[in-house]
Amino acid sequence: MKKFFGLWMMAFVLCLFSCKNTDPVRIYENTAAQDAVGVYTGVWESVSSSTGNVTKYDDGIITLEVFKDSLANQCFVYIKSEQANWDFRGLTNVAHAGDDIVFQNESSGNGIGQAIYGRISNQKLTMSFSSFGKEGRKSVIFSNTFNGEKQE
């Protein structure tokens, strides 16, 4: 019992003194939503779950706008592509992730109807969501991925 107690005390003391808060706290000038705001243009790739066929739409536009006020950590996401016949508006949660900004909304009630995920890194936006469509008479799911850059 003394050995167990001694080992337990050594482990406790080791843990107590090994924990140091040496990492600097990162402070951002703006909210993540404010930093994400912008118009991004690029290419959509849509992959069929049935055949694996890839369709590219080079007229992709994603616009991010702050929801309600500057303190909100949410943005409206506007997805447009005339080639794909898309004109969606959804709401997404936004957060800083180091130097990047990430956004997501897993609710099907987000305005787009499917979960959306995205990342902004060095003024480049990557985003993905799924959609339903038809190939001939068969209903399939399409995995849609956007890669684009912020416009000035």
pLDDT band at 24 (very low <50, low <70, confident <90, very high): confident
Mean pLDDT of 57-63: 95
Q: Phi-psi bin for 151: left (phi > 0), alpha (psi -120 to 50), beta?
A: beta
Rounded to the nearest integer, the mean pLDDT of the chain is 86
Q: pTM here?
A: 0.79
Extract the tokens encoding 61: 């536009």
Residue type at 34 in one-letter notation:
Q
Count CB neighbours of 145 within 10 A.
15
